[in-house]
């Protein structure tokens, strides 16, 4: 079974460039110890792969290829293979001189502030209706396998994300494709995606027909209903499928509300309806199917080392095993800190894992926390999972709510202003007066508040149990898991205070002052408790995709000092 993960130190935009420094032998050893047998590294074809027909591309390829070979070499002693992740034929900037020289390869333009790149992307596609592009794509894949013989598999995304082919962002209801060549040939997104994948396969076959090509179904629903039968029917029979375990369904929350399940999630078990449909069709065709998930943490709370919903991880692996999957890619470009989560997930997938949840959890508790009362450890984990049943799951909440950084956000009296809250996963400027209404998604403000209150309360109950079980114990796992559970508990307490405060700030009046002070005092207590937690564990507060600390001891101390000064001389509640 292919178990693919990645180092938390890896950099999505500079993956091959930094790979020699990131994937040290020590990192490989840690990944193997956490149960993985492969790492994924993003490869941009135009940067990494040389092509004598286009000497202007791949100028630094010798060094980048050497880095990839180094990763394969360093992983070998630990059984950790190199898996390439790519989106080919990845386009170039619209103003790249390449297009003046090769207008016969130029396709549709696309411009968007994508967010994870360092600069907004204004890209032009390589047009798959152009024969030189199809040859370029096959060359790219063949040369890559020839130059890096240690590549164990290629995983590829073919829709959305960046601009690669003309239809990368041109799904249903978008009108005629803005590419004269594709328009004239009557191309569609579905046949272009199949063409990209088959051409990649042909290029790989020139060098190593046995190396798997794994097609990720991310956002394919944008151009055809699930499970995209016309794409699957057109694919080379050896192309494998990577399907999102937690995207494409509706779930009912504990209050009876139906919400779209459309993002990575640890609070949801899965797999979704979409996953089952594509898995069934792919298996009918004899294609191996892999699962895409994030076993460390997700956007539900990303500035923590791991989100230990251990019973949910067990339940995911039960369904995973029943579906006879070939492997998984266990992270995206965050949520990839090796931790109890990763060890538990890989353990639960093992052949000798007990068939009942209670036994499996108990055995894990005994193995990870020798000397602890396993019953209490398991009760704490169950409480953590129950707490996250109340998480107000929706895309707007995941991407806009202040869960990741509420602890560092100032708490001040006064009304909101007109600006809206900024993106949760990047190092955007923060302002406590920003209006969070855009994060509510399908919920009302009151529904958000009641869910966050319950989430916070149940987590604190679990944390109290966990602290009891850990009392008197020491060691790395005890230290790390206490740190993660406390980080989450304090973040949720601060999030709860944020939404309590929202109801005062959206309609600010002087009469709110006593209620404000009561919230501010609780927030001060949370911040004071948080300082030693964050001082003791630099894994906490950092957003791996955003490449920055959203919560840090410095930010916490500044907030504490401001709260202390503000509360001085105010009447106690
Ligand atoms: Zn085109």
Query: What is the spatial distance between Cα 259 and Cα 277, in angstroms, rounded to a whole number?
Result: 20
The set of residues, in sequence order, having a beta carbon less than 8 Å from that of 225 and lying 6+ positions away, is none
Q: Count Cβ atoms within 10 A of the Cβ of residue 186 and give its class: 0-12 exposed, 13-18 middle, 19 or more buried.
A: exposed
Query: What is the spatial distance between Cα 571 and Cα 569, in angstroms, rounded to a whole number?
Result: 6
543 strand-pairing partners? 548
Cis status, amide bond into 227, omega within 30 of 0:
yes
Tell me the pLDDT of the chain (573 aa) as tens digits: 999 999 999 999 999 999 999 999 999 999 999 999 999 999 999 999 999 999 999 999 999 999 999 999 999 999 999 999 999 999 999 999 999 999 999 999 998 765 555 566 799 999 999 999 999 999 999 999 999 999 999 999 999 999 999 999 999 999 999 999 999 999 999 999 999 999 999 999 999 999 999 999 999 999 999 999 999 999 999 999 999 999 999 999 999 999 999 999 999 999 999 999 999 999 999 999 999 999 999 999 999 999 999 999 999 999 999 999 999 999 999 999 999 999 999 999 999 999 999 999 999 999 999 999 999 999 999 999 999 999 999 999 999 999 999 999 999 999 999 999 999 999 999 999 999 999 999 999 999 999 999 999 999 999 999 999 999 999 999 999 999 999 999 999 999 999 999 999 999 999 999 999 999 999 999 999 999 999 999 999 999 999 999 999 999 999 999 999 999 978 765
- pLDDT given at position 112: 78
3-class state of residue 298 by DSSP:
coil
Residue 472 φ/ψ region, left for φ over 0, alpha for ψ in the -120 to 50 degree band, beta for the rest: left
Strands 542-543, 548-549: parallel, antiparallel or unpaired by DSSP? antiparallel
- pLDDT given at position 161: 93
Q: How many CB atoms lie within 10 A of CB 366?
A: 14
**Cα angle, residue 492 at apex, residues 486 and 496 outer, rounded to 5°:** 145
User: What are 23's two structure tokens?
Assistant: 């994937």
Q: How far is ligand 1, taken at its centre, from the CA of residue 108, in Å? A: 6
**Residue extents of the structural domains in the chain:** 374-567
Query: Most distant CA pair in the chain: distance in Å?
Result: 78
User: What are 39's two structure tokens?
Assistant: 């790492």
Q: How far is ligand 1, taken at its centre, from the CA of residue 235, in Å? A: 20
Output the pTM of the full model: 0.96
Q: How far is ligand 1, taken at its centre, from the CA of residue 9, in Å? A: 37
Query: Cβ distance 190 to 231 under 8 Å?
Result: yes
110 strand-pairing partners? 123
User: What are 544's two structure tokens?
Assistant: 């791996």
User: What are 476's two structure tokens?
Assistant: 């790395």
Query: What is the spatial distance between Cα 226 and Cα 547, in angstroms, rounded to a whole number?
Result: 34
3-class state of residue 70 by DSSP:
helix
Query: Cβ distance 488 to 524 under 8 Å?
Result: no
Q: How far is ligand 1, taken at its centre, from the CA of residue 98, in Å? A: 16
Q: How far is ligand 1, taken at its centre, from the CA of residue 181, in Å? A: 5
Q: How far is ligand 1, taken at its centre, from the CA of residue 111, in Å? A: 16
Q: Count Cβ atoms within 10 A of the Cβ of residue 75 and give its class: 0-12 exposed, 13-18 middle, 19 or more buried.
A: buried
Query: What is the spatial distance between Cα 467 and Cα 425, in angstroms, rounded to a whole number?
Result: 30
- pLDDT given at position 195: 98
Query: What is the spatial distance between Cα 359 and Cα 370, in angstroms, rounded to a whole number?
Result: 16
Q: How far is ligand 1, taken at its centre, from the CA of residue 285, in Å? A: 30
Query: What is the spatial distance between Cα 51 and Cα 271, in angstroms, rounded to a whole number?
Result: 41
- pLDDT given at position 569: 79
- pLDDT given at position 114: 58
Query: What is the spatial distance between Cα 19 and Cα 21, in angstroms, rounded to a whole number?
Result: 5
3-class state of residue 124 by DSSP:
strand
Of 484, 522, 528, 299, the C-alpha closest to 380 is 484
Query: What is the spatial distance between Cα 484 and Cα 19, in angstroms, rounded to a whole number?
Result: 27
Q: How far is ligand 1, taken at its centre, from the CA of residue 91, in Å? A: 12
**Cα angle, residue 84 at apex, residues 56 and 182 outer, rounded to 5°:** 60
Query: What is the spatial distance between Cα 405 and Cα 484, in angstroms, rounded to a whole number?
Result: 15
Q: How far is ligand 1, taken at its centre, from the CA of residue 104, in Å? A: 10
3-class state of residue 542 by DSSP:
strand
User: What are 7's two structure tokens?
Assistant: 């180092």
Crossing angle for the helix pair 357-368 and 340-348, to the nearest 10 degrees: 140
Strands 81-86, 38-42: parallel, antiparallel or unpaired by DSSP? parallel
Separation in Å, CA 502 to CA 231, 326, 484 = 47, 47, 27
User: What are 142's two structure tokens?
Assistant: 């063949």
Query: Cβ distance 107 to 181 under 8 Å?
Result: yes
Q: How far is ligand 1, taken at its centre, from the CA of residue 453, in Å? A: 51
pLDDT digits (tens, 9 = 90+) for 91-146: 999 999 999 999 999 999 998 765 555 566 799 999 999 999 999 999 999 999 99
- pLDDT given at position 119: 62
Q: How far is ligand 1, taken at its centre, from the CA of residue 43, in Å? A: 23
Q: How many CB atoms lie within 10 A of CB 173?
A: 7
- pLDDT given at position 121: 76
Q: How far is ligand 1, taken at its centre, from the CA of residue 127, in Å? A: 4
């Amino acid at each position: 079974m292919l178990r693919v993960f990645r180092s938390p130190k890896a950099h999505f935009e500079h993956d091959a460039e930094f790979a020699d420094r990131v994937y040290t032998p020590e990192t490989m050893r840690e990944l193997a110890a956490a149960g993985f047998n492969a790492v994924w590294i993003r490869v941009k074809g135009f940067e990494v792969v040389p092509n004598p027909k286009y000497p202007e591309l791949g100028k630094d390829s010798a060094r980048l290829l050497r880095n990839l070979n180094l990763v394969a070499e360093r992983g070998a002693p630990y059984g950790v293979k190199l898996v390439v992740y790519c989106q080919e034929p990845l386009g170039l900037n619209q103003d790249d001189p390449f297009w003046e020289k090769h207008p016969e390869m130029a396709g549709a333009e696309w411009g968007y502030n994508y967010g994870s790149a360092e600069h907004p992307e204004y890209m032009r596609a390589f047009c798959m209706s152009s024969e030189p592009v199809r040859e370029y794509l096959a060359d790219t894949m063949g040369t890559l396998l020839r130059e890096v013989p240690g590549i164990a598999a290629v995983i590829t995304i073919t829709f959305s994300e960046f601009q690669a082919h003309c239809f990368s962002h041109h799904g249903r209801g978008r009108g005629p494709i803005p590419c004269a060549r594709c328009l004239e040939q009557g191309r569609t997104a579905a046949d272009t995606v199949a063409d990209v994948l088959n051409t990649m396969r042909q290029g790989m076959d020139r060098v190593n027909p046995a190396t798997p090509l794994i097609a990720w179904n991310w956002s394919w629903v944008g151009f055809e209903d699930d499970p995209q039968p016309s794409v699957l029917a057109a694919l080379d029979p050896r192309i494998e499928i990577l399907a999102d375990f937690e995207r494409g369904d509706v779930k009912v929350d504990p209050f009876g509300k139906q919400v779209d399940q459309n993002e990575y999630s640890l609070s949801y078990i899965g797999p979704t309806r979409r996953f089952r449909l594509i898995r069934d069709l792919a298996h009918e065709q004899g294609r191996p199917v892999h699962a895409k998930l994030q076993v460390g943490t997700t956007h539900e709370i990303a500035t923590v080392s791991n989100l230990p919903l251990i019973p949910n991880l067990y339940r995911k692996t039960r369904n995973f095993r029943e579906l006879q999957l070939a492997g998984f890619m266990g992270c995206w470009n965050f949520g990839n800190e090796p931790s109890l989560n990763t060890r538990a997930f890989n353990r639960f997938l093992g052949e000798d894992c007990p068939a009942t949840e209670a036994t499996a959890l108990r055995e894990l508790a005994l193995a990870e926390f020798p000397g602890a009362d396993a019953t209490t450890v398991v009760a704490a984990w169950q409480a953590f999972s129950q707490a996250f049943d109340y998480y107000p799951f929706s895309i707007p909440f995941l991407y806009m709510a202040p869960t990741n950084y509420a602890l560092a956000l100032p708490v001040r009296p006064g009304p909101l202003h007109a600006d809206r809250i900024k993106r949760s996963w990047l190092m955007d400027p923060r302002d406590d007066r920003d209006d969070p209404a855009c994060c509510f998604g399908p919920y009302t403000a009151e529904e958000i508040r009641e869910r966050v209150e319950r989430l916070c309360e149940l987590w604190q109950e679990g944390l109290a149990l966990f602290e009891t079980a850990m009392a008197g114990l020491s060691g790395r796992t005890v230290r790390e898991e206490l740190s993660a559970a406390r980080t989450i508990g304090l973040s949720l307490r601060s999030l709860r205070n944020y939404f309590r405060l929202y109801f005062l700030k959206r309609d600010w009046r002087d009469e709110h002052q006593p209620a404000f002070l009561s919230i501010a005092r609780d927030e001060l207590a949370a911040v004071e408790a948080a300082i030693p937690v964050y001082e003791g564990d630099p894994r906490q507060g950092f957003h791996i995709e955003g490449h920055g600390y959203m919560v840090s001891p410095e930010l916490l101390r500044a907030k504490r000092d401001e709260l202390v000064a503000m509360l001085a001389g105010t009447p106690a509640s």
